[in-house]
């Protein structure tokens, strides 16, 4: 075989390889656009949720760490803080105007000030925050267990989900929100945190109030909460997938 033929052959092999790779890339991408195929892929979510919850059982506590293990750096992720005048002005006044509104399928709708929340029994926990991106950071959180709120407002039997409406928005103005079910709402480590590492919750981390739900990934931990709504279904909220990131294709069940 002479040199030019060898080059030709090598070129052909390389070309075929590249064609195969770019073909694969196109195939994967078009499959990803295909609704039916996507729903097949998405079927893994329910399987993961059922199997993982079956394996773990209810109310098992996530690992708690020591003060020494607290991360030096904790990435403030997600949307930027709310940039409204009201928010900034209220931040200066230690959230004296802010109220947590509890509504929806509850017997006693309520509005709580930050002082009200701080007067309720609190829980402090040093836990690991796991972001869907892959990083982890440990911090100390103090807040009101969600069960304390639930005892006060009395959800009706129809209520199945707890929806957290937030003040932060993305570039397009879409408001952040999240939802969890009662199994996680009753988890002892599910708290509405107003303190981080012994200081008032910083603005970057969701002041004045954020959710800690240690059974799931970071994007479930709604920040800048203004309203908690008890609902039977979250179909009617925003794009109907139960959360800001869920509306963009992420799993509602973020335990994995």
Partner 1 sequence: MENLVYRHNRITRATHWIDALAIMILVMSGFQIFNAHPHLYWGNTSEPDRAFLSIAATSDDGEVRGFFRIYGWKLDTTGVLGAQNTDMGPTPRAFPSWITVPGYFWLAGGRRWHFFFAWIFVLNGLLYLIYNLANGHLRKFLFTARDAARVPAMVLYYLRIRGSSPQEGEYNPLQRMAYTSVFFVLTPLIMLSGMAMSPQLNTAFHWLPAMFGGRQSARSIHFILTFLFVSFTFGHVFMVVMTGIFNNIRSMVTGWYREKGPDISEPGWIQNFKEEMIQKPAKVPVLHQLSSPDVEEVRPVEETLPACIEPEEQNKDISKSATQDAQIPLESPKQVLLTYTDEAKKDKSE
Q: Which residues bind partner 1 (CB under 8 A)?
A: 21-22, 24-26, 28-29, 31-32, 38, 40-45, 47-48, 52-53, 55-57, 60-63, 65, 69, 71-73, 128, 130-138, 214-217, 245, 248-251, 254-256
CB 218 within 8 A of CB 253: no
DSSP 110-143: EEE-HHHHHHS--EEEEEEEE-TTS-EEEEEEEE
Separation of alpha carbons 42 and 28, rounded Å: 15
Minimum distance between the CB of residue 242 and partner 1, rounded to whole angstroms?
Answer: 14
Q: With respect to partner 1, which residue has the nearer C-beta, 70 or 110?
A: 70
Q: With respect to partner 1, which residue has the nearer C-beta, 78 or 104?
A: 78
Backbone angles phi, psi at 144, to 5 degrees: -90, 125
Minimum distance between the CB of residue 58 and partner 1, rounded to whole angstroms?
Answer: 10
Minimum distance between the CB of residue 198 and partner 1, rounded to whole angstroms?
Answer: 18
Minimum distance between the CB of residue 104 and partner 1, rounded to whole angstroms?
Answer: 26
Residue 184 burial (CB count, 10 A): 23
Q: With respect to partner 1, which residue has the nearer C-beta, 109 or 255?
A: 255
Minimum distance between the CB of residue 62 and partner 1, rounded to whole angstroms?
Answer: 5
Separation of alpha carbons 111 and 103, rounded Å: 9
Q: How far is CA 182 from the centre of its chain?
A: 16
Separation of alpha carbons 239 and 95, rounded Å: 30
Minimum distance between the CB of residue 136 and partner 1, rounded to whole angstroms?
Answer: 5
Nearest 5 degrees, angle CA 137-CA 140-CA 144? 125
């Amino acid at each position: 075989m002479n040199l030019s033929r060898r080059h030709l052959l090598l070129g052909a092999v390389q070309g075929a390889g590249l064609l195969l790779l770019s073909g694969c890339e196109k195939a994967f991408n078009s499959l990803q656009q295909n609704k039916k195929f996507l729903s097949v892929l998405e079927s893994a979510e329910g399987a993961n949720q059922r199997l993982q919850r079956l394996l773990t059982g209810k109310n098992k506590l996530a690992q708690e760490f020591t003060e020494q293990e607290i991360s030096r750096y904790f990435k403030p992720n997600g949307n930027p803080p709310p940039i409204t005048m009201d928010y900034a002005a209220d931040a200066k006044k230690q959230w004296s105007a802010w109220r947590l509104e509890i509504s929806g399928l509850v017997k006693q709708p309520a509005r709580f000030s930050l002082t009200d929340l701080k007067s309720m029994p609190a829980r402090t926990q040093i836990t690991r925050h796991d972001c869907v991106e892959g990083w982890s950071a440990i911090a100390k959180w103090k807040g009101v267990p969600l069960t304390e709120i639930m005892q006060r407002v009395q959800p009706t039997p129809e209520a199945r989900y707890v929806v957290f409406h937030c003040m932060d928005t993305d570039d397009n103005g879409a408001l952040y929100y999240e939802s969890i079910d009662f199994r996680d709402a009753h988890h002892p480590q599910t708290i509405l945190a107003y303190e981080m590492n012994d200081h008032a919750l910083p603005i970057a981390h969701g002041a004045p109030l954020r959710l800690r739900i240690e059974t799931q990934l970071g994007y479930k931990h709604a920040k800048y909460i203004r309203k908690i709504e008890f609902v039977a279904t979250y179909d009617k909220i925003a794009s109907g997938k139960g959360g800001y990131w869920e509306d963009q294709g992420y799993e509602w069940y973020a335990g994995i």
